Amino acid sequence: MYDENVTASATNPVIPGFHPDPSVCRVGEDYYLTCSSFEYFPGIPLFHSRDLVHWTQIGNVLDRPSQLRLPRETPSSGGLYAPTLRHHDGRFWLIVTNVAPGEGNLVVSATDPAGPWTDPVRLPGVPGIDPDLAWDEEGNCWCTISGVAQVRIDPSTGETFGEPRPVWSGTPGAAAPEAPHLYRIGDHWYLMIAEGGTERGHGVSIARGTSPNGPFEPCPANPILTHRSTTRPIQNTGHADLVQAVDGSWWMVLLGVRPQGGTPGWHILGRETFLAPVDWVDGWPVVGEVNPELPQMPWPLVPTAVPDERDDFDANELLPSWISLHDRPAEHYSTKERPGHLTLRARGTSLDEPDAIFLGRRQQHLDFEARTLVDCSEGTGGLAVRLDERHHYAIEATSEGTVRVIARVGSLRSVVAQLPLPSGPVVLTVRTGGAPEPHDSRTGPDSLVFGVETPDGATKDVASLDGRYLSTEVAGGFTGRVVGLYAADGAVHFDWFDYAPGSR
């Protein structure tokens, strides 16, 4: 919903939390954007905006089992990589890589971006990751992939014409030329890529030519964007896409991170989506500053979209912001079994298992509090903050009458605190303890405080855990924290879930 009493503001990130690899397109006055979703189902969140700043999730592109196969052996940070979203000849097209075993590159399309989207067209003749789509004046569709190579395809059938051929691959010797996007702008074709790896060395470079196949002339100012070797609060800037706004101005969406604490700086929310202005000088794009505060926008901003932070599980269908691991079979996830509740039935014995039953939402704020009312009379489960199967914290209630806080860090798993469970359903809580002052280089990004609400509404803290161990710098991978609900044994019933942003 929209709150017209809230003043719209322009700040970065424009889509906070674990929303990496943004791809954007404009149709009329509407902007649409997608991001990578990795091992989570449904796949590829889809956002809509009228001002490039305020985005509302309107669905997920791959939301049916027939569209998305993520077998249980798909590891964390596997699954769906780097979609490209385009609009051509009255249809929306999305191409993406599924790196799960036995999968590959695929294309789906829709007339309405809110769906339904078609079942996938497989692309066995397109290798690699990070595929892009672009159409030339003759209607030929060109697919460019990381490396960087290019092949003509028919996106309706998956047919390829010839073998992929190498094209411009960025700065000689630079690591990981990836995330290619090909555009026709003015008299030139522009090939923009990311390079340097998706960590602190990340950057964006571009080249141009008179044909979609090149040869491509590199921009003399490459990289046109990077924050490497700086102390800027936004780092790892790269994997970008360009869009021309309604007024003719140009903009770039890109991923970046917000490291917190001391050295090396821990980012906990994953790679987020940022926005930057673009000017054109001598036929080359010049990217403006990527700062927490965006410049004055050249058009009025729409009122701030107020997300649904509380779910009472009264609807038959779950909100599109909810994600689960690998799949969502009805026998394990239900809002109908007990009306007004979410019922999770365990598969696997803990969040350590690849087939764990977990339903979460991305942590989108550096400070937050989450609460849930849980009935564990028929099983064991609770509230967790997850980065992957080897890095997560949880507070769980059991049918045996205990509440315990569990920490999994790498190969170590420990029950760090335990206390008797109050009778009946119980409110479990988790909140950030805030980022401590960086008094030395070892200061972490935050703490996660788990607790139980007492009958008088107060919160009894059970354990406080160091947040650095749920960060990408510790765990590795490409995702961010997800806060949610899980079942480890039997059936667990959740009456409601509430997520409240903090001050950051």
Question: Could you list the active site residues?
Answer: 21, 178
User: Tokens in use for 334?
Assistant: 């239900």
Looking up tokens 């050295």 gives 263
* Sheet strand arrangement including 30-34: 23-27, 30-34, 43-49, 56-62
Buried b vs exposed e over 335-347: b needs ≥16 C-beta within 10 Å?
beeeeebbbbbbb
d(CA 204, CA 287): 10
Q: Characterize the bridge pairing of strands 426-432 and 447-453.
A: antiparallel
d(CA 291, CA 282): 25
| CA 402 to centroid of chain Cα atoms | 34
Judging by beta carbons within 10 Å of its beta carbon (0-12, 13-18, 19+), is residue 393 exposed, middle or buried? Answer: buried
Q: Which residues are registered as beta bridge partners of 165?
A: 150
Could you tell me which of 96, 91, 101, 156 has the C-alpha nearest to residue 126? 96
Could you tell me which of 146, 137, 30 has the C-alpha nearest to residue 84? 146
Answer yes or no: are the C-beta atoms of 296 and 289 closer than 8 Å: no
The phi and psi torsions of 419 (rounded to 5 degrees) equal -150, 165
Judging by beta carbons within 10 Å of its beta carbon (0-12, 13-18, 19+), is residue 269 exposed, middle or buried? Answer: buried
d(CA 485, CA 179): 33
**Rounded alpha-carbon distances, angstroms, from residue 159 to 9, 123, 139, 178, 482:** 46, 7, 15, 23, 38
Could you tell me which of 282, 230, 278, 280 has the C-alpha nearest to residue 256? 230
Q: Which amino acid is at 78?
A: G
> What count of residues does the chain have?
504
